[in-house]
Amino acid sequence: MKKHIIIVAGGKGLRMGGDIPKQFLPVCGKPVLMRTLEAFHSYDSAIHIILVLPVSQQAYWKELCREYHFELSHDIADGGETRFHSVMNGLALVAGDGLVGVHDGVRPFVSQEVIARCYDDASTKKAVIPVIGVVETVRHLVDGGSETVPRDQYRLVQTPQVFDVSLLRRAYQQEYTDVFTDDASVVEALGEKVHLVEGNRENIKLTTPFDLKLAELLCLT
């Protein structure tokens, strides 16, 4: 079964406090985004990689690829106004049937086991997302105060979120709404069930300067 992965990298890096978009920042001597692409190529060298980047960042990415001699094969799609539209543009480069995953470009530490788990389960369950348990106490904000909620009833969602290609195409034919926070929410809007698999806690989304410090440690382990 043909496998595709859409890697969405549209961040501006504002919370990193610098001018360089976070997906291009180096971690242990290599840009984050290159590490992310390599993770999926390591899982399956035949996987079709689609990188979604804002048009304004594509020339810089190609310059980085030359500088780092990064020759891993991938197609590039234009980033859209929102993540929803970016994924839709990536989907346009997916031909035929099979499985397609969507992954955050700034999650370079997804494990091979999690990637395999997502694709393996999606081959029969059609819609699969990785999650991890909540370890902190969680409070729900209510009028004038807050209340503790049972954390064992909640999960933190990661990527890659993997789907049957035809299902995700059908989902992305819906009109955009701001309740679509990830691909699973788009698929659920069709009335489809999304299945959960265990993620890996190292699969953090690099968003803040503190995350970069963690990343430097993770790439050494």
pLDDT digits (tens, 9 = 90+) for 69-115: 999 999 999 999 999 999 999 999 999 999 999 999 999 999 999 99
pLDDT at position 18 is 59
Residue 52's nearest CA partner among 111, 101, 113, 16 is 101
DSSP secondary structure code for residue 68 in this structure: T
Q: What is the pLDDT of residues 5-55, one digit of tens each?
A: 999 997 554 445 457 889 999 999 999 999 999 999 999 999 999 999 999
Q: Thinking of the domain 3-218, which architecture would CATH place it in?
A: Alpha-Beta Complex (3.90)
User: 145: which residues sit within 8 A by CB, 6+ positions away?
Assistant: none
Task: Give the start-to-end residue ranges of the domains of the chain.
Answer: 3-218
Q: How confident is the model at residue 217 (pLDDT cuts 50, 70, 90)?
A: very high
The per-residue pLDDT for range 111-148, each reduced to its tens digit, is: 999 999 999 999 999 999 999 999 999 999 998 899 99
Q: Which residue has the higher pLDDT, 13 or 163?
A: 163
Neighbour count for residue 41 (Cβ, 10 Å): 16
Q: How many Å apart are CA 168 and CA 201, to the nearest integer? A: 26
Mean pLDDT of the chain: 94
pLDDT, residue 192, reads 97
- Look at residue 220 in the predicted model and tell me its pLDDT: 81
The set of residues, in sequence order, having a beta carbon less than 8 Å from that of 169 and lying 6+ positions away, is: 91, 94
Neighbours of 5 (CB within 10 A): 29
Q: Provide the residue type at 40 as one letter.
A: F
pLDDT digits (tens, 9 = 90+) for 110-119: 999 999 999 9
pTM to 2 decimal places = 0.95
